[in-house]
Structure 1
Amino acid sequence: MDFKEVLEEQGKVILKEVKNFELPHIFDCGQCFRWHRQKNDNYIGVAFGRVIEVEKQGSDVVLYNTNLEEFNSIWCDYFDLKRNYSDIKEKFSEDPLLKKAVDFGYGIRLLQQEPFEILLSFITSANNRIPMIKRAIENISKTYGDEIQYNGKVYYTFPRPEALKGATMEEIEALGVGFRAKYIIEAIKNVAEDTRNLEEIKSLSDDECHEGLKGFNGVGPKVSDCIMLFSMQKYSAFPVDVWVKRAMQFFYLAPDVSLPKIRAFGRNKFGDISGFAQQYLFYYARENNIKID
């Protein structure tokens, strides 16, 4: 585990001596859309039907609005705290090029999020910017999710498939998802009517899972890899977007290598922990605004 002990106090859980846990690295590395940085540098997010606030205090992490029972049943896995990221980083640091990205994003952890939310989120992400994606996901939650309160403010859970089943194309379009509305409507129907079962897809092998997710209209190789990596614990996934493409060209490949070849190269090079490498590379490339001439 990447923490020494966990303590419970009134309305919060304290993780002592946490390793490899930096809030901006985790919440601003492109894997999630419902976490927001506060003026005090804490982050507040909505996940699994709950509002949670996270604060870093030296080497400790404080989780507000929760308790030990919820930590053990939800948040320990959600923050992937049973995994020793130091071992992953040590292995990656054998590669002097990847070590630069690892040292830069040293506090990244891969969240274990809910598949239905991530399916709709990354369908929405296609050819879209992160602020617009966040706004659209918030609109979906506010319109169809349940209201919850924390510290006098109102938040909204991400809706269940059944709550979205009756939505029309026009209603979904009005939430800011653009041309992706048709894909979202179809995905909602498939999941709600169980013609495509996300838990069954999750249980498949990595390659079968990748193909199974591509059965949803609007889900191509990159979106499929994102869903696998961020909600199905398929860590051989290697999503290739513009930033990962630039990082791979910057560190390893020629500028004219195609996206499928970059994905294949990454998976072959990094193996069953390719997804962790992808996140370090993505965060490094985007935060440093890497450009390829």
Structure 2
Amino acid sequence: MRGRRMKLRDTPSVSPALWRALPCPAAELRLELVLPSGQTFRWRESSPGAWTGVLGDTVWTLRQERDRLWYTVYGGEAGADTDRLLREYFQLDVGLRDLYRSWGAADPLFREAAKDFPGVRVLRQDPVECLLSFICTSNNHISRITAMIERLCRAFGRHLCHLDAQPFHAFPSLAALAGDDAEARLRALGFGYRAKFVSGTARAITEGLGVEGLHQLRTAPYAEARKVLCTLPGVGTKAEAVPVDTHVWRIARQRYGMELGGRSITPRAHQEIGDFFRGLWGPRAGWAQAVLFCADLHKGREPVVSQDRDKES
């Protein structure tokens, strides 16, 4: 595949770089399971087995073949820096097969559910994009969230290029989303009550924590990071290492027999469910939860990503 170039229509000024490859067995990563599973909303299957999307300020196409992760970028050169970005994005230094074995040994239910879904891993996304995207997930489905994020990027993000007449935009800057008219524009784009949370959080980060402070939360103790995030508009108790939404709540009750009172997710239930799964699966419990979510998604169900919007948000 090295050296092949993709055909582009209507964009003679934008060309793909030569294809490069990273070693990556399917047991460590499966693009068709990870990219459309609700972690990120910037990728689409542009041709069978090929995924095109935006990572950083660059448009990429990815595909897998013979234990290799192949990629090309548009409007730039592929090299050691792009290798590093891709490895960091997919966290390829984390050995997934060993984690699956550990989770399966501790949890026969996980072992059974995950046997047909290897290669599901958690992405290391830009914190600003990840935070603002997940504010949009409240009471929403993946397909609708994807369309919302596309509208958000087209309206507020910098245009990067067209591929096959499809425009690609960078994720908006905080400054763009913190503007005086941002909330009204977001409402006009169909964001509803989420509009004030997106613009309010962009403004709160700009005026307080700052982008650098948000990035530093990656290395902060869990409780401290959670406390800071929960002060932002639209972020509530779902800011968990094991994100507890109605989907996880149902899994806890139906598959694991947890006795949880009531018909909604209370703060106490949040804590109990999170503690249960962290105790069962260990430090990377959120990764194991992502595998079960993906398994349900590919069994013909599109779970609501986050249904219980916090009353105080």
TM range (shorter): 0.7 to 0.9
Structure 1 52/255 Cα, relative in aligned 2: closer, same or farther at 3 Å? farther
Tell me the alpha carbon deviations over residues 121-164 of structure 1, each in whole angstroms, 9 at most, x when there is no partner.
11111111212211111111111111112545420000111232
Q: Which deviates more from structure 2 when the two are superposed, residues 193-202 or residues 274-283?
A: 193-202
The aligned counterpart of 2:228 is 212
The aligned counterpart of 2:143 is 131
Q: Does residue 270 of the first structure (1) align with residue 269 of the second (2)?
A: no
Higher helix residue share = 1
Aligned equivalents of 2:21, 2:204: Cα separation in 1: 40
Aligned equivalents of 1:45, 1:264: Cα separation in 2: 35
The aligned counterpart of 1:159 is 172
Aligned equivalents of 2:65, 2:198: Cα separation in 1: 40
**Per-residue deviation at 1:255?**
6.1
Structure 1 189/205 Cα, relative in aligned 2: closer, same or farther at 3 Å? same
The structure with the larger Rg is: 2
Aligned equivalents of 1:28, 1:36: Cα separation in 2: 8
Query: For 1:23, which of 17, 31, 43 is the aligned residue?
Result: 31
Aligned equivalents of 1:283, 1:195: Cα separation in 2: 33
TM-score w.r.t. the length of structure 1 is 0.85
Q: Does residue 11 of the first structure (1) align with residue 18 of the second (2)?
A: yes
Q: Does residue 62 of the first structure (1) align with residue 62 of the second (2)?
A: no
Query: For 1:143, which of 135, 151, 155 is the aligned residue?
Result: 155
Tell me the alpha carbon deviations over residues 77-113 of structure 1, each in whole angstroms, 9 at most, x when there is no partner.
0011111111101101202111123213212121110
| Contact map agreement 1:76 1:82 (CA 8 A) in 2 | yes
Q: Does residue 241 of the first structure (1) align with residue 258 of the second (2)?
A: no
Aligned equivalents of 1:142, 1:194: Cα separation in 2: 27
Query: For 1:251, which of 251, 255, 268 is the aligned residue?
Result: 255
**Per-residue deviation at 1:167?**
4.6
Q: Does residue 176 of the first structure (1) align with residue 213 of the second (2)?
A: no
The aligned counterpart of 1:230 is none
Alignment coverage as a number of residue pairs? 272
Query: For 1:71, which of 82, 88, 92 is the aligned residue?
Result: 82
Root mean square deviation, CA, Å: 2.2
Runs of at least 5 residues in structure 2 that lack an aligned partner in the other structure: 5-16, 302-313
The aligned counterpart of 1:47 is 55
Aligned equivalents of 2:92, 2:29: Cα separation in 1: 9
The aligned counterpart of 1:283 is 294
- Give the secondary structure class of the aligned counterpart of 2:44: strand
Q: Does residue 87 of the first structure (1) align with residue 98 of the second (2)?
A: yes
Q: Which deviates more from structure 2 when the two are superposed, residues 197-206 or residues 83-92?
A: 197-206
Q: Which deviates more from structure 2 when the two are superposed, residues 247-256 or residues 67-76?
A: 247-256
Higher relative contact order structure (alpha carbons within 8 Å, sequence separation ≥ 6): 2
Runs of at least 5 residues in structure 1 that lack an aligned partner in the other structure: 1-6, 226-236
Tell me the alpha carbon deviations over residues 207-266 of structure 1, each in whole angstroms, 9 at most, x when there is no partner.
2111211111211122x23xxxxxxxxxxx101222222223333124645541222211
Query: For 2:120, which of 91, 105, 108 is the aligned residue?
Result: 108
- Give the secondary structure class of the aligned counterpart of 2:139: coil
| Contact map agreement 2:178 2:200 (CA 8 A) in 1 | no
| Contact map agreement 2:22 2:83 (CA 8 A) in 1 | no
TM-score w.r.t. the length of structure 2 is 0.80
Q: Residue 265 of structure 1 aligns to which amino acid in structure 2? A: F
Aligned equivalents of 1:161, 1:8: Cα separation in 2: 37
